[in-house]
Structure 1
Amino acid sequence: MRMDRNKGLAILLIVVGALILLNLIPAFGFLVHEIIGYLIPIAMIVLGYYGVRSGNTVIGWVIMILGLLILMGKLSWLIGPLLAIGLIIFGIALLRGRGRRY
């Protein structure tokens, strides 16, 4: 089967329509909403990186930093506990004498 431009556009439209329909079903809509909520900041980071690489440094850095800030906000539920675990491990290492002395 030969794939031409119109078939690719048709498949893209079908996928977008299916995602919109899945949003009408609460369980799938929540899942799609969560996935897209993480994909957009990641796409911003990637587009910012490509902007920096192609010579549009100011716009690239602005988009990349915004994407990083949004992604950090979305991942704060993970960053907080990981930071706490790291601090506990570092504190135990200091008590045992294996940590760096300041």
Structure 2
Amino acid sequence: MRMDRNKSLAILLIVVGALILLSNFTPAFGYLLHEIMSYLIPMAMIVLGYYGIRSGNRVIGWVILILGLLILIGKLSWLIGPLLAVGLIIFGISLLRGRGPRY
């Protein structure tokens, strides 16, 4: 069976609609779907912004890409903060041992 573009779009719309209905009727699935979508939407904005830049619509593409990056950084702040702290600790230890950059 060969899938053309319209059939794949129709299947995608059916799946998205079913997920929305399931999220309304089952609280646990709704919470899980909300968590997944809160990361997928900014990633989709980044991809669409990149596609807009590549296709020639640079201003709108950059705006969407930067907005998606800012939203994703805000969503990943629970991970970025501790990683930054670990990096600062490692850098401080390397400075104490005398292996840091020379100014």
TM-score of the alignment, normalized to the shorter chain, above 0.5: yes
| Residue in structure 2 matched with residue 31 of structure 1 by the alignment | 32
Q: What's the TM-score once normalised by structure 1's chain length?
A: 0.87
Q: Distance in 2 between matches of 1:3 and 1:15?
A: 16
1:22-65 deviations in Å (ceiling 9; x for gaps): 21211111111111111111111111111111111111111100
1:12 equivalenced with 2:15 (yes/no) = no
Quickly say closer, same or farther: Cα 1:6–1:80, change in 2 above 3 A: closer
| Residue in structure 1 matched with residue 62 of structure 2 by the alignment | 61
Give me the identity figure in percent: 84
Give RMSD over aligned pairs.
Answer: 1.8
Quickly say closer, same or farther: Cα 1:5–1:85, change in 2 above 3 A: closer
Q: Where do residues 1-102 of structure 1 align in structure 2 (5 Å cutoff)?
A: 1-3=1-3, 7-8=7-8, 10-23=10-23, 24-102=25-103
Letter in 1 for 2:92: G
Q: Distance in 2 between matches of 1:44 and 1:60?
A: 9
Cα shift at 1:3: 4.2
Contact 1:41 1:67 in 2 (8 A): yes
Cα shift at 1:4: 5.8
Q: What's the TM-score once normalised by structure 2's chain length?
A: 0.86
The 4+ residue runs of structure 1 with deviation greater than 3 A are 1-10
